[in-house]
A and B are shown apart, each in its own frame.
Chain A
Amino acid sequence: MKQRLINGLAGIIVAMLLGAVVMFVQGYNPIETYYALFEYSLGDWYSFSTMLRNSVPLVLTGLSASVAFASGPVNLGQPGQLLMGALFATVTGLYLDLPAFLLLPLMIFAALIGGMLWSGIAALLKRWFNMDEFITTLMLNMIADYFTYWAISYPFAEPGAYSPMTPQINRSGWMPEYGHFNSNVIMMLFVIIIVWFLFTKTIAGYEWRISGKNSLFARLGGVQTKKNYMIVMLLTGALAGLAGGLVVMSGPHRFIKDIGANYAWDGVMIAMVANNGIIATVLYGLFFSTLQSGALGMELITAVPSELIMVLQAVIVLLVVAGRGYIDILLRKQAERRKVRERTT
């Protein structure tokens, strides 16, 4: 645990130093830049609550990828599932005019269904035709991208808008805000607890984890791996769909083009850097949200393009994962050497 923490921090620090070198070479002041980055994401209550609000889709898609990878299925379809969840929630919010206590749960339900539908297609293709989910989910991402683009350009389009988008959803479908604090964060905490409990404290979660580690062993031990595969795919699709629904309900309150572009690969990225651990996923999700939320402030103050954060994130992933693997190799070598010494004496 401690080793993981050190590894993660070391990776982040080295990546940020590399980023500092890049900035320095291009004539920016790295210290000032990083100060602005964190000032605008953690500096005051407004920035902090914005960071929390933005972390919701990152953490949820991260959890989706983590649970999937740790249980076996390589579900890379979070971007598509997120879009479908967002579309389903938006359409529900557009056409149903109900009081908030009815509409909010209904929209969340629709988002879950939307995500599940999209991951369910991939799961069925695997179940029936044995098609690898890691390519089918990728192709379904592209298809979802164009499908939602069509949906907001024609059937659900806002007439006269300058770019494709839907009209705003009904007011009672907005996630309630308290001050600047958006209640989608509460929803996220709720989901984190459920997923954590399900994954680490129940028999089903144990079966998933065992199937992820060694599917043959699990099957021989009496685990219904095929059924579990379906459940995990549907669950992780639902998580990504929920992320999409909450983006619409807490952010622009409508489906605008490229709504999911920012979160496209972030879930997978966070799961990889967190080594599929639930708590690590939440922490890295919050950290990546800090970087992304502060990026605009950074650009405003120091003129460093916010795209730098995209590079920084990828470098952090590569360094942290490589560092983790390398530490494991070193430890194993040390253990072997010790064993050899014990045998010779």
Chain B
Amino acid sequence: MKIFIGLINGMIAAATPILLAALGGTITYYAGIFNIAMEGMMLGGAFFAVLGSYYSGSWVIGIISAIFGAILLALIFILFSVVLKMDEFITGIGLNLFALGATTYMLRQIFSVKGAFAGPGIIPVPYLDIPLIKEIPVLGEILSGQNLIIYLTVIITIYIHYLVFSTRFGLRLRAAGYNPTCLNTSGVSTARVRVWSLIICGVLCGLAGAYLSLGYVTLFSENMSAGRGWISLAAVILVNGNPLGIALISLVFGFSDGLGLYLQQVLPSQFTSMVPYIATLIALFIYSTRRKERELYE
């Protein structure tokens, strides 16, 4: 039972950053932007979270500064891809490299360390105990005592689903991706919708970064997003952007991460670390064979 609860909690913890970034990615996916900059935005968010938390001594400022940092990167993306009409793929890769270089440089310049910065000065985001639910035997240990950002993520997932499918903004968002000319002729600027979608993506990726460096662990290390942005991109593609589907697939990826940790008892850690990436490949494999079947059926 204890292993089971550990696995579930590990799954939730590992799924959260992927889910948050993927929700950001899905907003831009609906807006018709091929956005691959989640990796960089998440990394930027993680760095600014540590920066804010360390210098203010408050995790609230940490989260706010993470969101600020990620929005800054989103603005660069907007400048190059929306304003200067640069290829989105190249902008994304350029931005990811910029985020990696800039965070490594600032880590060296501001904290005077190479590789990783950890210390008691970084205030992590607290874990919440929910009074009554805590008492329930098994469920209590899962539903209560999670990180604050995890509870936020649940609310955000539902809200994004509502935002995309049930609001005027959501309609415009989907129109921007589905038929931008039509949206423009109906008097709504596609470019403006895309700008907002990128800013929302920045906010969510910033939160994902804050969770990485103030929740999952309490430190910042070079390139700590470690491909999670790419996995979240795969998650968006796999379910065609549906927010609830993304939540499910993120949990699957999170589970593979937790499973990797347990497999460490029998396998060398290098192999268990591969598990999330292999899981992504398997998921893509299932997706493409299903797509093939559907095409044959039609």
A-side residues, CB < 8 A to B, are: 26, 125, 129-132, 135-136, 138-139, 142-143, 146-147, 149-150, 153-154, 265, 268-269, 272, 305, 307-315, 317-318, 321-322, 325-326, 329
Q: Quick one: which of A147, A149, A310, A321 contacts B97, CB cutoff 8 A?
A: A310
Contact A154 B268 (CB under 8 A): yes
In the complex, 7 of the A-B residue pairs with CB atoms within 8 angstroms, ordered by the A residue number, are A265-B93, A272-B94, A308-B105, A310-B105, A311-B102, A314-B98, A318-B94
CB nearest to A299 among chain B residues: B108
What residues of chain B have their CB less than 8 Å away from a CB belonging to chain A? 76, 80, 84-87, 90-91, 93-98, 100-102, 104-105, 108-109, 226-227, 230, 233-234, 237, 268, 270-271, 273-274, 277-278, 280-281, 284-285, 288-289, 291-292
Given contact pairs A325-B85, A326-B84, A135 touches B284 in the complex (Cβ within 8 A): yes
Beta-carbon contact of A269 and B97 below 8 Å: yes
Q: Which residues of B contact A313 (CB under 8 A)?
A: 97, 101
B284/A310 in contact, CB under 8 A:
no
Q: Whose C-beta in chain A lies nearest to the C-beta of B286?
A: A129
- Chain B min CB distance to A32 (Å): 18
CB pair A310 B101 closer than 8 Å:
yes
Interface of A is mostly: helix
| Chain A contacts for B289, CB-based, 8 A | 129
- What B residues does A315 contact at CB under 8 A? 98
Taking a contact as CB atoms under 8 Å apart, the answer to whether A318 and B285 are in contact is no
How close is A251's CB to chain B, nearest CB, in angstroms? 21
In Å, the complex CA distance between A281 and B230 comes to 26
Q: Does the CB pair B268–A153 fall under 8 Å?
A: yes
- By a CB distance below 8 angstroms, the chain A residues around B104 are 307, 310
Residues of chain A with a CB closer than 8 A to B80's CB = 318, 322
> Is there contact, CB below 8 Å, between B97 and A317?
yes
Which residues on B sit within 8 Å (CB–CB) of A308?
105
Chain B residues contacting A310 (CB-CB under 8 Å) are 97, 100-102, 104-105
Q: Write out the residue numbers on chain B whose beta carbons fall within 8 Å of the beta carbon of A312.
A: 101
Q: Is the CB of A322 within 8 A of B281?
A: no
Contact B284 A329 (CB under 8 A): no
In the bound assembly, the distance between CA atoms of A146 and B275 in angstroms comes to 10
